[in-house]
Structure 1
C-alpha cells in the first residue's frame, strides 16, 4: 500500500504527460498499482430516501470510478442505528473487517454513517489501521489515509456526536410535549383502546375501543376480587375474546401486561432513556411532578390501579401458578387450616400435601396430619352459613384533594430513590426543588377535608347461592374466606374415622359467630303477628 501511495504522488516529466517521451516511463505507468477500496453504507430507517443505502453506494462507486480505484467489496447495515449500535456490533461492519479482500481505503458517504460517537469512530479507525487502510468520506472530502485527513475527521466526529445528542434532546422534548397534550406518538396502542383523530387539533389521540374495553373492565374486576390471572385467561378463551394480535389464544403474560398498564388509570407509560425496550413502572409526569391523568381514558382510579399492581406483585400462592406447576392436591382450604397441637404456643399453619397417597394437610413442626376431610368442612360451612347473607365487600375511595395524597407520597418515594442514585449536581438540585414543591402540595391537600365514598365491589346474596354458582376451587376458597378466619385441627385417635369423628377434631373460627346456623321458618302465629304489626 505504501508503494501505491508513493507512486500516486510522482510528478512525471512534461514529455511523459504529452505522450512523446521515449524511455522507461511508459512501463512505469503501466505497472503503477491500482488502489483498492471497500464501500460501507448504513441507514437507520429504510424509508429515508435522501440517504438510502442505494444512494450511498452509488455515490461511493462514482467516487471510486473518478479516481480509477477498484471496488473490492460492498458492505452494508440496513435498519441499524449508529447511536445504539457500535460499529463492531453490526453485521455489515464485522463482515468488512473479516473480509479476505485487500483494500487501502473504506469509502463511506459521511462520517455519521459509520459512527455517531467519537469513541466509536476512533475504535473503527484503529481497526482499519490494523489492516493498513483508512476511511474516506465522499460528502465531506476526507481522506484518512493521511495524518491531516485523520485529524479533520476526528474533529468532524466530535460535531457529529454533538449533533446526535442535540437531535435526541429535541426529539425527546417534542415527544414529551405531545404526550402531555394527549397526542399519540407511535408505538403499540394498549389493548382496549384505539387511536382516533384528535378532535381539538392535529394528530391522533387515544380513546376506548368499544369492542374490547369491556373485556378489560372484567379483567380488572376479576383481579380485584382476588381471582387468579389463569382463571381470567380461561374466561377470556371461553368468551372468545379477541387477543391483542387477533391470532391464537390468551396467555398469562398478555393478561398481566394489560393489567399492569397505567393507561387503566388514565396515565401514560413514560421511560425516557430506557434502552431495553421493556416498559418500566414510570408514568408521564406533569409540571408539578405528579402523573398526567386523562380521566376519559381511565377505568379505575390511580389508587385502585396501584393497589391492583401491588396485589399482582404479592401473589405467590399456588393458585397464581400454571396448572402444570400446581401440586396435585386441592387448594380449597389453603391458608385456612391450622395445627392446634398443645405443643405450640398458638396455632400454626398446616401445609397442603399428600398423606399416604391421600390429599390432606400436615404440620411441619409437630407432624400432625389430617386427610380426606374437605367434604366435612364444606358440609359444616353450608350448614352454618348457607342461608346467611354474604355481605358485600366495601372499599373506601378518596375524592377531592385527599385523592392526590397517595400519588404525592408515591412520587416522593421515587424522588428519594433518584436523589440517592444521581451523581449529577444539577439533576440533584432539580429533584430537590421538585421534592420541596410536592411536600408543600402535600401539606396543602392534607389540610383539605377528605371526601370519602364507599363503593361495593361485590353484590349481596346468600353464601349458599354463591357456593352453587362458583365454578372453581379459587372462587369457593374466596367464599370460605369470607365466612372463616381459620379451621384448627386437634389430634385424634389413629385409624379410620367417621365424618362425625373428623368434625370433632375441627374447631371453626367464624368471622361473624353470631350469624350462624340454618334459619328456622317462622310459625303461623309469628307470621300472623308480623302481619298485624305491619
Structure 2
C-alpha cells in the first residue's frame, strides 16, 4: 500500500485559529487522494518559524516516523535552511509539493535542485529581515512606531500611538514606589494579586516589570535596533523620574541585596571601610549567637546592627535638630541651574555610547564613567527634591519634635534621609574589640 505523510507549517499564527495550516491540509489531502496514496500521518508545526533556529517538534517527529514519502503544500513549508534539508535528504525519501512539484531526492540532480530552492529560501528570508529592519528604522525616524506585540502602557490606532491611561497610571505608581524604596518583587506581587496582566495576558515577573520601567519608550523615545531617534511617542515618565529610576534599578548595591524586601535600616546601605573591600555593602544577618549584625560579604567582618543603628539614627536626629539645620538644608538653591546640570550630565552619559562605538573608550571605562555620572545625577535629583520639599528630610526639618517626626517616617523614608545626609562606613577593628561609636564613620554626603 502506498502511503504518504503530510507535513504542515505556518510561521506566524496571529489569530491562533490555525487557518493557514487547515488550508494546507485540505489541499495536501486532495493531492494525496488524486495520487491514490493513503495518508498515514499528519505532522503540524503551527506558529513556528523554519529559520529562527528554534526546535520544530513536529518536524523532528516527521523525520523519526520513517515516512514512505512526504507531502507538503510548498517545499518552503518543510525546509528553509540547508541544515534541515540535509536531514531530509538523509531519509532517502521523495518530497511532493502541491505548489512546487516533485523533488526526487534519490538522485544528484534532484538533490541539487532541492539545495538551490532552499538556498533561495534562505536568501529571501535574509533579505526580508534586512528590508524589515530598514522599514522599522524609517518608521522610527518619521515618528511612526509599529510593533508586533503591544507594549504595556501603549496602544495604537493604525500608526498613531497613544497611552493606555490605566496602564500608564500603574507604571507611574510603580516608579514612585521603587524610588521610595519598594522592591520590584513587592510590586509584581501586588500587580499579580490585583489581576493586572501583561499585554499577552501573562503574569508579571521582576524581569518583565524591570524591562517596562527601564524602556526608553516610557520617556517617549523611539528606539530601533539600538538607535535612538529622539522624542517620537507620548510620554509616561518624565526624564527626571526615568533617570532616578534607572539609577536606582541599576545600583550595584540593590542588585546584590540577598533579600527581596528591605527589612533593616542600613542593610545594603552601610559600607565596609576595610582596605581591599572597596566599600562593599554590608547586609543584615544573624551571627552564630543569633544576634543581628551587619556583615560584609567580602571580608565577612560584622558589627552589631542594634549599636550601629543607634549611633547613625542618633547622629541623624542631632543634625536635623540643629538650630541652623533649616538654613543648611533650605539654603537658596537655583533649581533651574541644577536641572541644567542634570541635562549636561545626561548628555555626557549619552555620549559615552558614541565614544565606545568609535573605539575611543574601552567598554569597562565607559561602564565606570556611566555609573559615576548616574550617581552624580541621582545626587542632584536629591537636591532638587529637597528644594521642592519632596524629600523626607524636608518633612522632618522644622518639626517641633524632630526625633518624633523622624521616628514616624517609614523605614524607606528613614533610609532616604540617611542616604541624603551621609555615607555610612563601618571601620575595621581588631577581633574581640568592644563596639564604640567612633567605629562608625559618617561622612557628610558629597565628601570623600
TM (norm. structure 2) is: 0.69
Alpha-carbon distance in structure 2 between the residues aligned to 1:401 and 1:311: 20
Q: Secondary structure in 2 aligned to 1:45?
A: coil
From 90, 99, 107, give the equivalent of 2:65: 99
Shift of the alpha carbon at 1:144? 0.7
| 1:468-509 deviations in Å (ceiling 9; x for gaps) | 44212x3212212333444777989x99x9xxxx88767774
Q: Is 2:396 the partner of 1:462?
A: yes
Q: Which residue number in structure 2 is paired with residue 256 of structure 1?
A: 210
Q: Which residue number in structure 1 is paired with residue 220 of structure 2?
A: 266
From 28, 34, 42, give the equivalent of 1:60: 28
* Change over 3 Å in CA distance of 1:477–1:375 after alignment to 2: same
* Change over 3 Å in CA distance of 1:170–1:59 after alignment to 2: same
Alpha-carbon distance in structure 2 between the residues aligned to 1:406 and 1:230: 25
From 94, 99, 102, give the equivalent of 1:139: 99
Q: Is 2:329 the partner of 1:391?
A: yes
* Change over 3 Å in CA distance of 1:91–1:511 after alignment to 2: closer
Q: Is 2:354 the partner of 1:411?
A: yes
Match runs of 1:227-242 below 5 Å: 227-230=181-184, 233=187, 242=196
Match runs of 1:181-192 below 5 Å: 181-191=142-152
Q: Is 2:10 the partner of 1:43?
A: yes
Long gaps (5+) in structure 2: 364-379
Aligned length: 402
Alpha-carbon distance in structure 2 between the residues aligned to 1:412 and 1:257: 25
Given that 1:484 and 1:508 are in contact with CA atoms closer than 8 Å, whether structure 2 keeps it comes out as: no
Q: Which residue number in structure 2 is paired with residue 359 of structure 1?
A: 292
Alpha-carbon distance in structure 2 between the residues aligned to 1:400 and 1:488: 35
Given that 1:41 and 1:108 are in contact with CA atoms closer than 8 Å, whether structure 2 keeps it comes out as: yes
Q: Which residue number in structure 2 is paired with residue 471 of structure 1?
A: 410
| 1:145-192 deviations in Å (ceiling 9; x for gaps) | 55344443333333333333333333333333333333342344333x
Match runs of 1:27-426 below 5 Å: 35-46=2-13, 52-85=20-53, 89-99=55-65, 103=68, 105-126=69-90, 128-129=91-92, 133-144=93-104, 147=107, 148-191=109-152, 193-197=153-157, 203-224=158-179, 227-230=181-184, 233=187, 242=196, 244=198, 252-271=206-225, 282=226, 285=227, 290-294=228-232, 296-297=234-235, 299-301=237-239, 305=242, 308-317=245-254, 320-323=257-260, 330-332=264-266, 335-336=269-270, 352-354=284-286, 356-361=289-294, 369-370=303-304, 372-373=306-307, 374-375=309-310, 377-386=312-321, 388-389=325-326, 391=329, 395-398=338-341, 404-414=347-357, 416=359
Shift of the alpha carbon at 1:335? 4.8
Q: Secondary structure in 2 aligned to 1:52?
A: helix
Q: Secondary structure in 1 aligned to 2:166?
A: coil
* Change over 3 Å in CA distance of 1:64–1:248 after alignment to 2: closer
Shift of the alpha carbon at 1:260? 1.2
| 1:373-394 deviations in Å (ceiling 9; x for gaps) | 2345534532442363383796
Shift of the alpha carbon at 1:112? 0.8
Q: Secondary structure in 1 aligned to 2:340?
A: strand
Match runs of 1:506-521 below 5 Å: 509=442, 511=444
Alpha-carbon distance in structure 2 between the residues aligned to 1:249 and 1:74: 34
Given that 1:491 and 1:505 are in contact with CA atoms closer than 8 Å, whether structure 2 keeps it comes out as: no
Alpha-carbon distance in structure 2 between the residues aligned to 1:169 and 1:46: 22
Match runs of 1:438-457 below 5 Å: 456-457=384-385
Alpha-carbon distance in structure 2 between the residues aligned to 1:349 and 1:401: 30
Alpha-carbon distance in structure 2 between the residues aligned to 1:266 and 1:322: 33
